[in-house]
Amino acid sequence: MEAFKPFVDEAVKKGIIVTSGNTPLTELEAAYKAKGFGYVGMDLFESGYLLGKSLAEYAKLKAGDKAFLYGLMAQPERGKMERGAKQAWEDLGLDVDYIEITAEVDGDATMAIPVITGYLASNPDCKAIIASHGNITSVMEEALKAAGKGPNEVAVGGYDLSAKTVKSLQNKYLDVVMDQQLYLQGFVPIEQICITKLYGFAGLHMNTGAGVVTPETINKLIPLIQKGIR
């Protein structure tokens, strides 16, 4: 947020309407909401909590089961997703292990595969994994196959409906995926700027991460995903 602040401050002083999508800039939103600064994207903590809870329910996890969370908790704002998922699992009494995604893995998701296979080799009793990163979610099928795991052997949750993630849902290597509804994150901020400019509306705050997709529901969405809408 600090990196954006001087640029946003300067833009607002020049009468430019600024808003945000996908990544919240909480302090800037509070400062400039009356000038049209809103947010369209996931409520990060709530979406993480929903994913953790939904995966536990889908996989019928019970207290004491081991679960692995792989994410970016060290990042103050972005890490709210992981903190939400961890809280959901702890509320259900799961035994949660956490590993931080390194900068190298963050830049190249395929580097997550040996981390995941290594964890599963050391923890054969792991019942569930959340890969709290859209790119890493997309390589989870590869990681599970490399670890010698078949569909439904480990419950897996993640983010974003990329082409590979859709295929993994169909193959049942992924079980619950948070749908950010990314189309809204691109469309609504532009709409926000227009209605602020034309009608003086204050910033809108929209949570687009309010639902999950499973192997049972993905096929209905595929035509919309192919059109770039979902």
3 state DSSP class of 4: coil
The DSSP secondary-structure symbol of 229 reads -
Residue 112 to residue 131: CA distance in whole angstroms: 10
Positions of CATH 3.40.50.2300 in the chain: 44-179
Query: What confidence tier does 210 reach under pLDDT thresholds 50, 70, 90?
Result: confident
Residue 98: the pLDDT is: 98
pLDDT at site 77? 86
**What is the structure's pLDDT at 209?**
87
- The CATH number of 44-179, from 3.40.225.10, 3.40.50.720, 3.40.50.2300, 3.30.2020.10, is 3.40.50.2300
Contacts of 11-14 with CB under 8 Å at 24 or more apart are 12/37
Among 18, 14, 84, smallest CA distance to 49 is for 84
pLDDT in tens, 9-31: 999 999 999 999 988 899 999 99
- For the segment 48-73, what is each residue's pLDDT rounded down to a tens digit? 999 999 999 999 999 999 999 999 99
Q: What mean pLDDT value characterizes the chain?
A: 95
Q: What is the predicted pLDDT for the residue at 1? A: 67
Tokens at 126, concatenated: 């792991």
Helix (H) or strand (E) holding 143: helix 140-146
